[in-house]
Structure 1
Amino acid sequence: MNQRRETLALAGIILICITSIGSVYLIFTGNPAPAPEVSVRGGYVLDQTTDQTVIRAMALSIQLNLSAHAGGLLNNHQVLITNINTHRVTFSSNVSYSIVYSNGSSNILRLETQLPNASITMDTSDASPLNFYVFGDSQGYQGSIQDIVTTANHLHPDMLFHCGDITPFGQEKQYQRFDDATGNLSVPLFLTAGNHDIKLNGGQRYQSRYGPSTYSFDFGGAHFTIFNSSAGDVSESILQWLEDDLSTAVAEHKFVFTHIPPFDPRPGGNHTLLNTTTATRLMNIFESESVNVVFAGHIHMFNVSTPSTVTYVITGGAGATLYETAEKGGIYHYVNVTVSGPQVRIEPVALEEPSFARDQVVIRGRNEDLTLTIDDLMQLPTIEGFSSFQNQLENWHGQGVYKGVKISDLLALVGGMTTENTLRVTANDGYQQEFCYDNVYPNESWYQLQGDMILAYSYNGTTVPDWSTGLRLAMLPEDGQYSNGDCLQTSAPGMGCDIYLSAGARWVRYTQIIEVVP
């Protein structure tokens, strides 16, 4: 729930205005006291002030205890609980309270007590059969997320699970766009972080919004375990926690959710945990503790495999570029899971293929990729400079100031490139140019001729889509002139000006795909 709180202190009176979806509540209290101490099971305290405690539900049942500081009271203190289905939850407490706000996924409880301590319990009613959706790797594409939200609000599954890679690279605005897309969701959504979510300090932003990415809970005769594998490995502390959590679970069914799977089901595939010892240990834990299904993302496809007694489901098709053909599981989808008695039914549900706008670019690395919008590009380190280029007739064109992101910085988001790799840049009309390692990471002599190689999103102050030929590849030499001679000296054999003498031909207009190829 988006909300704005304004506080005005006058003569010992505090006026608190809470504005949310057109509703305003006014609550008057006495002089401010320290925020109460809070302990919570099944939730995470996202924020706390003197007058309000904000909790994100991380289970379908919550036990909350609040204690006022010495001499203080809890009267009029508010508890905002998010990520719940308000139509199916019930509350009980040792003190009186009133629900002053409800929007389908959040409730605000106002305590009405002269006591210094309060206990609140929240439970969600069971439904039969148990039903939940699982998906992953939306990577900033909100179209699929909005479609899943619309379906969930209509069909009312018990909950949703996102297996990570919510964002392209973990920035505040990227998380906010996801929150906006899920803002009207009326069922709980449980998350874990993916490797893209923790890039550029994104892990801290993840936790401040959603709480820890390793947790578990019981519901409807099943145990749900979510754990963090976003770093490409799993820490010893999490491995120990997994063993303890799964060994003590007594539910009939055990479901596990993470981002990176312990193995790649594709023949010869290696898009999996970096530490093979950890991967083997995980699979042994899952088997010894009788886990029914492990759900993971990371590999952009749908796949179900059962190498032992445990079923592994790859569901990485919520928006990121697919890794396989449709025949091999390369489909945009989410997974609909229904549990009825001992039976578990797993069904992929097709999503529409993402539409590609001219203000987006796909960055493909050797083992991962992501799609970036103009807004995403603007959050990366920016470089700006005057430049121009010669065409095949040696006429000068393109004079102006270009602003964008270094190609090397973009590749760093997907694992970089080596001297053995080639960089291929493709326009939306299929036009292509290829570049070598030294174009992306120029040495001193190449840098003097070529300068930084950038993906420009702005030209003379005009930004895509208003800039009609962007996104565009550009070179920023120090003298502001990328001549045909410069191009020839900075083209590897069989590339660029070595086969067609035009510096301008290297400046790919309408850039759509930047990819590292062997």
Structure 2
Amino acid sequence: MLAKQSKLYMSTRYARAVWIGLAGLSSCQWVEYSPNQTYLPVAERAQTARNLARLRETASPSTDTVRFVFIGDTQRFYDETERFVQSVNQQRGIDFVFVAGDISDFGLTREFRWVHQRLQQLRVPYLTVVGNHDLVGNGRAIYQAMYGPLNYTFRYQGTQFVCLDTNGREYGFNGRVPDVDWLHTQLQDTVGTRRSVVISHVPPMDEDFDSTLVAPYTAAVRQYGPRLALHLSAHVHRFTAGQPYHDGITYLTTYSLAKHRYHIITLWGKRQFRLETVQYGPQA
């Protein structure tokens, strides 16, 4: 009888220890119930709004110059992201960093969190636009929870930045992405704007852009050409620059973090810009 009681006591104590351990893990958010879960801690939500608020605090009415880092495709390049952050933090006079999509590879919460945990070590705010890989699985919901709207506009130092979802293939080329009407509406709003920049993930020259929308999209950009400084994208993992539609609009794509390079773009005046390339590691 005593042996049975002792055995029962040991079983109860073991079960209690296991329950306490699991409860502790849960409270520390170490338990992941599904790789497709969309839960995010409150501190990691609404990063676009949080970083825009930080950016507004640094705005200066005495200058119209903007200097920012432009990069794309952090997907799975976690070590490279850490080195990227270290390099950017050594730069002077940077207003913000812009990551042009494909933050994740498989649209998983853990991927978004791992990248954010590294990028939040930047000394300046960082902003993003959604990429095609960010829309895989539950990625769209996760991106919206962590960052915010897929299409949004902000102004800084007289520059209007129009950031939009151009990942047509992920929507089955349904004729609605990118939202050309929304793009028109934003570019028409010139209040407080000296120049505009359009930022997307997939450039209109790429096969993942809805081919039925290339003409209306580029026409919308061309219409506002006199004050549109640049069209910026990522997706192709390499640097390209040119005027493919022969309309005076410069379309530029940037590197992925695997290339150990990024761009610093400086804007001033009406449409003036300067492009610098920083290499911070071995060539890929």
Does TM-score exceed 0.5, indicating one fold?
yes
Cα shift readout 1:439-496 (whole Å, capped 9, x = no counterpart): xxxxxxxxxxxxxxxxxxxxxxxxxxxxxxxxxxxxxxxxxxxxxxxxxxxxxxxxxx
SS in structure 2 of the partner of residue 200 of structure 1: coil
SS in structure 1 of the partner of residue 133 of structure 2: coil
CA distance in structure 2 between the partners assigned to 1:55 and 1:236 by the alignment: 23
**Contact residue 149 and residue 182 of structure 1 kept, 8 A:** yes
**Contact residue 304 and residue 312 of structure 1 kept, 8 A:** yes
Residue type at the aligned position of 1:226: C
Q: In structure 2, do the counterparts of structure 1 residues 272 and 332 end up closer, same or farther at CA, with 3 Å as the change threshold?
A: farther
Cα shift readout 1:175-226 (whole Å, capped 9, x = no counterpart): 1110111122221211111111111221111111111121001111211000
The yes-or-no answer on 1:135 pairing with 2:71 is yes
- The corresponding residue for 1:198 is 135
CA distance in structure 2 between the partners assigned to 1:272 and 1:165 by the alignment: 14
- For residue 151 of structure 2, the aligned residue among 192, 201, 214 is 214
Cα shift readout 1:293-345 (whole Å, capped 9, x = no counterpart): 111111121010113211000113222xxxxxxxxxxx542111011324211
Aligned length: 233
**Contact residue 84 and residue 186 of structure 1 kept, 8 A:** no
Larger RCO: Structure 1 or Structure 2 (Cα < 8 Å, ≥ 6 residues apart)? Answer: 2
The yes-or-no answer on 1:163 pairing with 2:70 is no
The yes-or-no answer on 1:288 pairing with 2:223 is yes
- The corresponding residue for 1:227 is 164
- The corresponding residue for 2:29 is none
- Give the drift of 1:148: 3.0
- The corresponding residue for 2:187 is 246
CA distance in structure 2 between the partners assigned to 1:184 and 1:236 by the alignment: 33
SS in structure 1 of the partner of residue 196 of structure 2: strand
Query: Within 5 Å, which residues of 2 pair with 1:417-428?
Result: none
CA distance in structure 2 between the partners assigned to 1:55 and 1:212 by the alignment: 9
Structure with the larger helix share: 2
- The corresponding residue for 2:279 is 350
- The corresponding residue for 1:339 is 267
Structure with the larger strand share: 1
Give structure 1 stretches of 5+ with no counterpart: 1-45, 59-81, 91-122, 265-270, 320-330, 356-518
- For residue 257 of structure 2, the aligned residue among 288, 296, 318 is 318
CA distance in structure 1 between the partners assigned to 2:132 and 2:177 by the alignment: 18
SS in structure 2 of the partner of residue 131 of structure 1: strand
Cα shift readout 1:407-432 (whole Å, capped 9, x = no counterpart): xxxxxxxxxxxxxxxxxxxxxxxxxx
Cα shift readout 1:65-120 (whole Å, capped 9, x = no counterpart): xxxxxxxxxxxxxxxxx32685x755xxxxxxxxxxxxxxxxxxxxxxxxxxxxxx
CA distance in structure 2 between the partners assigned to 1:332 and 1:280 by the alignment: 34
CA distance in structure 2 between the partners assigned to 1:220 and 1:354 by the alignment: 34
Q: In structure 2, do the counterparts of structure 1 residues 84 and 151 end up closer, same or farther at CA, with 3 Å as the change threshold?
A: farther
Give structure 2 stretches of 5+ with no counterpart: 1-39
The yes-or-no answer on 1:83 pairing with 2:51 is yes
Q: In structure 2, do the counterparts of structure 1 residues 272 and 349 end up closer, same or farther at CA, with 3 Å as the change threshold?
A: farther
CA distance in structure 1 between the partners assigned to 2:111 and 2:283 by the alignment: 17
Q: In structure 2, do the counterparts of structure 1 residues 152 and 237 end up closer, same or farther at CA, with 3 Å as the change threshold?
A: closer
| TM-score of the pair, normalised by structure 1 | 0.41
Query: Within 5 Å, which residues of 2 pair with 1:113-512?
Result: 124-125=59-60, 129-154=65-90, 155-232=92-169, 233=173, 235=176, 238-250=179-191, 251-264=193-206, 271-273=207-209, 275-290=210-225, 291-307=228-244, 308-319=247-258, 331-342=259-270, 343-353=272-282
- The corresponding residue for 1:43 is none
Q: In structure 2, do the counterparts of structure 1 residues 178 and 303 end up closer, same or farther at CA, with 3 Å as the change threshold?
A: same
**RMSD over aligned Cα, in angstroms?**
2.8
**Contact residue 296 and residue 316 of structure 1 kept, 8 A:** no
CA distance in structure 2 between the partners assigned to 1:85 and 1:349 by the alignment: 27
Residue type at the aligned position of 1:83: N
**Contact residue 195 and residue 229 of structure 2 kept, 8 A:** yes
CA distance in structure 2 between the partners assigned to 1:165 and 1:255 by the alignment: 20
Q: In structure 2, do the counterparts of structure 1 residues 161 and 193 end up closer, same or farther at CA, with 3 Å as the change threshold?
A: same
